[in-house]
């Protein structure tokens, strides 16, 4: 390992995505940053588990339809990050996980993958609406053990 590799500031950047335009912008920003630092990007899409509504065929069919749609959205979102990385020659790994609490899934993944930076889009809410609704970005900022970069 040479000096340049040892002094690299970021080696693994986590990019949580929800498929939004803000998430796309964060993915491009993270890919640019990863290219500059010679880092890898890890994309994550967190699926809310299917709400339990009872027992029977209707529930099973609903679960299958829900998971199929959620996995399709996750695949599209992770492909967006993958393309941003590929365009810049940046290594990429992506995963979809199920968690009841999105920000906890993001933080668990950051720790499990050994990420040293989280780059994510802001939610776009302001004032009282952000305070009342809260946000995944705010929770990640509050609880993360690594630096968090929020893109606008």
On the question of pLDDT at 145 being above 90, the answer is yes
Average pLDDT over residues 57-85: 88
CATH topology (fold) of 3-46+75-151: Rossmann fold (3.40.50)
Residue 132 has what pLDDT? 46
pTM above 0.95, yes or no: no
Residue 65 banded pLDDT, cuts 50, 70, 90? confident
Compute the distance between CA of residue 28 and CA of residue 34 in angstroms, rounded to an integer: 10
Overall average pLDDT of the 40-66 stretch = 79
What does DSSP say about strands 40-47 and 148-151: parallel, antiparallel, or unpaired? Answer: unpaired
**pLDDT band at 35, cuts 50/70/90?**
very high
142 touches 112 (CB < 8 A): no
Cα 43 off chain centre by: 5
Q: Which residue from 33, 11, 23 is spatially nearest to 146, judged by alpha carbons?
A: 11
* pLDDT of 49 over the 90 cut: no
Residue scoring higher pLDDT (22 or 128): 22
List Cβ neighbours of 150 (8 Å cut-off, separation of 6 or more).
Answer: 120, 121, 122, 137, 141
Note the pLDDT of residue 9: 87
Q: Which of 102, 81, 101 minimizes the C-alpha distance to 90?
A: 81
Q: What is the average pLDDT value for the chain, to the nearest integer?
A: 87
Considering Cα of 123, then 127, then 129, then 130, what sign does the dihedral take?
Answer: positive
* pLDDT tens digits along 1-27: 444 555 568 999 999 999 999 999 999
In the DSSP assignment, the letter for residue 48 is: P
CB 139 within 8 A of CB 103: yes
Domain boundaries, the chain: 3-46+75-151
User: Per-residue confidence at 96, pLDDT binned at 50, 70, 90?
Assistant: very high
Map tokens 């640019």 to a residue. Answer: 32
Selected residue with higher pLDDT from 89 and 53: 89
Give me the pLDDT at residue 55, please: 61
Given this model, what pLDDT does residue 52 score? 62
């Amino acid at each position: 390992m040479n000096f340049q590799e040892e002094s690299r500031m970021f080696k693994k950047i986590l990019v949580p995505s929800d498929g939004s335009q803000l998430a796309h912008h964060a993915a491009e920003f993270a890919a640019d940053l990863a290219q500059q630092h010679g880092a890898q990007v890890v994309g994550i899409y967190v699926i809310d588990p299917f709400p339990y509504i009872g027992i029977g065929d209707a529930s099973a069919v609903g679960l299958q339809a829900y998971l199929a749609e959620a996995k399709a959205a996750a695949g599209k979102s992770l492909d967006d990050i993958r393309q941003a990385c590929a365009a810049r020659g940046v290594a990429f790994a992506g995963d979809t996980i199920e968690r009841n609490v999105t920000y906890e899934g993001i933080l668990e993944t950051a720790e499990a993958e050994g990420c040293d930076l989280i780059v994510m889009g802001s939610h776009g809410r302001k004032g009282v609406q952000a305070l009342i609704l809260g946000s995944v970005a705010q929770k990640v900022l509050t609880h993360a053990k690594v630096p968090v970069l929020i893109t606008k």
